[in-house]
Amino acid sequence: MNSHPQYKRRNYFINKEFQGRYIFNYFLLVTIGSILFIGVFSFFSSNTLSIVYDNYNLQLGVTPGILFKKILSTQWLFIVIGGGAVIIITLILTHRVAGPFYRFEKSLDEMVEGDISNKIILRQKDEGKDLAQKINAFNFILGDKLSIIENFNSNIAVSALQLRKVLEDSDSENEDSTPLLNEILESQKNVQTMINDYNFSREKL
């Protein structure tokens, strides 16, 4: 028997479409920002001269033109390193959003199918905890009300059966009351069938 604990590998790509879209948008923002910086720098330095000493050669020229290669190489380095950092940071941040979204969708699908017994539990750094608490509160309140209705419905069935027995044991005519009792019992069964369509906790806090 393996005594070492089994660690579950964290899956950062929970919703690939959602997370991929945000990663691409943020990376594109960094790229556009870098290009914009080059454009603004070139515009404001177009009327200035610069002296560059490169490979034992002294060069004099307009600042944007003479420094273009240096700026371009620096910007590409910034795009690669900064873009990589943006991808990692965005992946971590979107993981805290995509995870709760996935859990909310799953919980809502269960609610549509009539299962309100499960509770949404999010991680410590996940977003959407207020929404999770409201959904959990709604499910608990609905389950509590369904439980109360189920108890009332059971009391109606017991009372109707007792009344039928009393009428059967009595000498009075009960031809008019029997159809009414049957209708009550049929309605009670229909209500119970609808309640049974839901899966909810019947435990009281």
- For 81-112, write each residue's pLDDT tens digit: 777 787 788 777 777 787 888 889 899 999 99
Beta bridge partners of 115: 199
Average pLDDT value for the chain: 77
The residue-averaged pLDDT of 176-191 equals: 85
Structure token pair of residue 165: 């027995």
- For 20-54, write each residue's pLDDT tens digit: 777 777 777 777 877 787 777 667 666 766 666 56
Q: How confident is the model at residue 6 (pLDDT cuts 50, 70, 90)?
A: very low
How much of the chain is in helix, strand and coil states, percent to nearest 5? 70, 5, 25
Q: How many CA atoms lie within 13 A of 51 on its CB side?
A: 2
CA distance 140 to 135: 9
CB under 8 Å, gap of 24 or more: what pairs does 58-64 form?
none
pTM, two decimals, is 0.60
User: CA 199, 202, 204, 205 torsion: positive or negative?
Assistant: negative
- For 116-130, write each residue's pLDDT tens digit: 988 898 888 888 888
**Per-domain residue ranges for the chain?**
16-113, 132-196
